[in-house]
């Protein structure tokens, strides 16, 4: 600028006990960074300084006040790698088994999202829930209607969040009002990609619901669209329930198995995220790994619908890393809280004699999720150059947490306690792009 005028940069500085990961604790020791008195400085949405308070104080721009959280634990914003915003209104509806639940609860509710006013109201609640639970990025199913996707991206943009979403592709085996065709599904998705992918912080996911609700023509066009649309995602479901797998076998007898359906249509690879994967075979898991495809482990949903127990041991074999994130899978999942989801992932691991440490669980919900989404360069950890999405956890949020946290002797113990008995009550604040986006406030305010 010729007159020397410098526009004001949006800056913030947050001080407190902070944790973050630089690597995957499933495969490497020393992945956790733990700074008991840290400072995070952000400018224009990006972290410009992070380190021990005393060493970092000089990086605070003139005039910026330091916000201090005492007795708290600051960590990267949580990443939800599989969730349906349009199912927010049916969380906790009676479950039964997947295919009946879809017919009786999910589809009737999704039909209502053809009405833009309804979609707008659901999406507002959805984003409020994400932020009050400490989730700053979510890979999100919308409904079949393009309008439901518009509602999602408009709200994501308004909140300045790093969000990924897409229109459901579904051209068979679903109620008529929810069905598109191979061609209209392709055209609508393409239009939405042109409009929203890479605009601000929003990204697009090509979203065939699951193999049974798409014809081979639709899957083929989805694969073609993905290969023509650099940087977009594929988001679908796989091998969640036994009945679903049997159905896929009947519908695609020419394919070697469920994963092979997606493989055949070019839907596997980096930035392809498959939800559930409870009943994958060893052979399929090897193919998932080889292609760089990610799995979203959704423990509360798998338990709620009685789908089965995800095999984390097989997925995270040492030295043979497979990308796994955690998904709440609202509305078959029963909580928006990634803390509670980590707790359920822990229990499911226990049932397979695979005890996961607090470090591993926090990793799955932060950097692991970002890696699963191939967004590690942007989000998932507190580090200079990354987007400034982080949250403040309160170990004294409930009387029981306060009672127990008074007795913990290490950061790791504190992290585990938050996982085991914490939920949205333990989220004191969420920062998006360095700005306070949610503040619990109230009597127990930090
Ligand atoms: N499989 C296909 N659609 C869905 C859905 O909406 N929820 C879950 N949990 N599984 C699915
Ligand atoms: Zn789902």
Pick from 10, 79, 65, 66: which is nearest to 38 by CA?
66
The domain spans of the chain are 11-76+382-445, 78-372
Which residue would you say has higher pLDDT here, 2 or 209? 209
Pick from 230, 158, 218: which is nearest to 193 by CA?
230
| Residue range 56-82, pLDDT digits in tens | 999 999 999 999 999 999 999 999 999
Predicted pLDDT of residue 111: 96
Q: What is the DSSP letter of 372?
A: H
419 token code pair: 């996982």
Output the CA 87–ligand 2 centroid distance in Å: 9
Domain 11-76+382-445, second-level architecture: Roll (2.30)
Cα 282 from Cα 279, distance rounded (Å): 10
Q: Whose alpha carbon is nearest atom 7 of ligand 1?
A: 332
Mean pLDDT of 437-446: 76
Output the CA 81–ligand 1 centroid distance in Å: 14
Cα 146 from Cα 132, distance rounded (Å): 27
pLDDT bucket at 443, cuts 50 / 70 / 90 = very low
Cα 443 from Cα 254, distance rounded (Å): 61
Domain 78-372, second-level architecture: Alpha-Beta Barrel (3.20)
Using DSSP's 3-state secondary structure scheme, residue 242 falls into helix
Output the CA 363–ligand 2 centroid distance in Å: 22
pLDDT bucket at 311, cuts 50 / 70 / 90 = very high
Q: Whose alpha carbon is nearest atom 11 of ligand 1?
A: 237
Ligand 1, closest atom to CA 244? Answer: 1
Which of 87, 209, 241, 341 best tests ligand 1's pocket when mutated (most atoms within 8 Å of CB)? 209
| Residue range 398-435, pLDDT digits in tens | 999 999 999 999 999 999 999 999 999 999 999 999 99
Q: Whose alpha carbon is nearest atom 1 of ligand 1?
A: 237
Output the CA 207–ligand 2 centroid distance in Å: 11
Distances 273 to 70, 83, 279, 340, 383 between C-alpha atoms, Å = 38, 12, 16, 22, 25
Q: Whose alpha carbon is nearest atom 3 of ligand 1?
A: 209
Ligand 1, closest atom to CA 332? Answer: 9
Predicted pLDDT of residue 4: 55
Residue 444 has pLDDT above 60, yes or no: no
DSSP class per residue in 170-197: --SSS-GGG---HHHHHHHHHHHHHHHT
Query: Rounded mean pLDDT of the chain?
Result: 96
Ligand 1, closest atom to CA 298? Answer: 9
| Residue range 116-174, pLDDT digits in tens | 999 999 999 999 999 999 999 999 999 999 999 999 999 999 999 999 999 999 999 99
| pTM for the predicted model, two decimal places | 0.97
Mean pLDDT of 376-391: 98
**Contact present, 60 and 39 (Cβ < 8 Å):** yes
| Residue range 8-31, pLDDT digits in tens | 679 999 999 999 999 999 998 899
Output the CA 2–ligand 2 centroid distance in Å: 53
Output the CA 217–ligand 2 centroid distance in Å: 22
Q: Does residue 210's CB lie within 6 angstroms of at least one atom of ligand 1?
A: yes
Cα 306 from Cα 50, distance rounded (Å): 43
The secondary structure element, H or E, covering residue 112 is helix 107-112
Residue 1 has pLDDT above 70, yes or no: no
Output the CA 261–ligand 1 centroid distance in Å: 17
Mean pLDDT of 221-235: 98
Q: Does residue 240's CB lie within 6 angstroms of at least one atom of ligand 1?
A: yes
């Amino acid at each position: 600028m010729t007159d020397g005028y410098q526009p004001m940069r949006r800056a913030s500085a947050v001080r407190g006990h902070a944790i973050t990961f630089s690597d995957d604790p499933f495969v490497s020791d020393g992945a956790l960074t733990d700074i008991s008195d840290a400072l995070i400085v952000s400018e224009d949405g990006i972290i410009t300084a992070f380190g021990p308070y005393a060493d970092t104080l000089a990086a605070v721009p003139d005039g910026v006040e330091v916000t201090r959280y005492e007795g708290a634990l600051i960590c990267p914003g949580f990443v939800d790698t599989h969730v349906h915003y349009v199912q927010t209104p049916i969380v906790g509806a009676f479950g039964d088994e997947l295919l009946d639940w879809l017919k009786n609860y999910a589809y009737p509710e999704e039909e209502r999202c053809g009405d833009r006013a309804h979609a707008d109201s659901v999406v507002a609640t959805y984003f409020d829930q994400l932020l009050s639970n400490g989730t700053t990025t979510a890979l999100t199913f919308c409904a079949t209607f393009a309008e439901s996707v518009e509602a999602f991206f408009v709200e994501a943009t308004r909140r300045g969040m790093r969000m990924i979403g897409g229109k459901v592709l579904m051209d068979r085996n679903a109620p008529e009002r929810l069905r598109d065709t191979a061609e209209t599904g392709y055209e609508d998705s393409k239009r939405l990609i042109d409009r929203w992918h890479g605009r601000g912080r929003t990204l697009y996911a090509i979203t065939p619901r699951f193999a049974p609700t798409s014809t081979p023509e639709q899957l083929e066009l989805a694969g073609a669209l993905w290969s023509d649309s650099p940087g977009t995602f594929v988001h679908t479901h796989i091998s969640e329930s036994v009945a679903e797998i049997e159905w896929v076998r009947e519908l695609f007898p020419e394919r070697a198995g469920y994963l092979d359906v997606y493989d055949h249509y070019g839907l596997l690879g980096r930035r392809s995220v498959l939800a559930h994967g409870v009943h994958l075979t060893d052979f399929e898991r090897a193919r998932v790994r080889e292609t760089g495809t990610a799995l979203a482990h959704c423990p509360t949903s798998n338990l709620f619908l009685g789908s089965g127990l995800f095999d984390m041991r097989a997925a995270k074999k040492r030295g043979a890393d497979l990308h796994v994130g955690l998904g709440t899978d609202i509305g078959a999942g029963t909580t928006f809280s990634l803390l509670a989801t980590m707790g359920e992932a822990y229990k499911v691991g226990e049932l397979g004699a695979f005890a996961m440490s607090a470090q591993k669980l926090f990793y799955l919900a932060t950097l692991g999720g970002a890696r699963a989404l191939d967004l590690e360069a942007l989000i998932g950890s507190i580090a200079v150059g990354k987007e400034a999405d982080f949250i403040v956890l309160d170990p004294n949020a409930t009387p029981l947490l306060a009672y127990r946290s008074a007795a913990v002797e290490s950061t790791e113990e504190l992290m585990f306690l938050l996982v085991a008995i914490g939920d949205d009550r333990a989220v004191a604040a969420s920062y998006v792009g360095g700005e306070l986006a949610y503040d619990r406030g109230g009597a127990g305010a930090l």
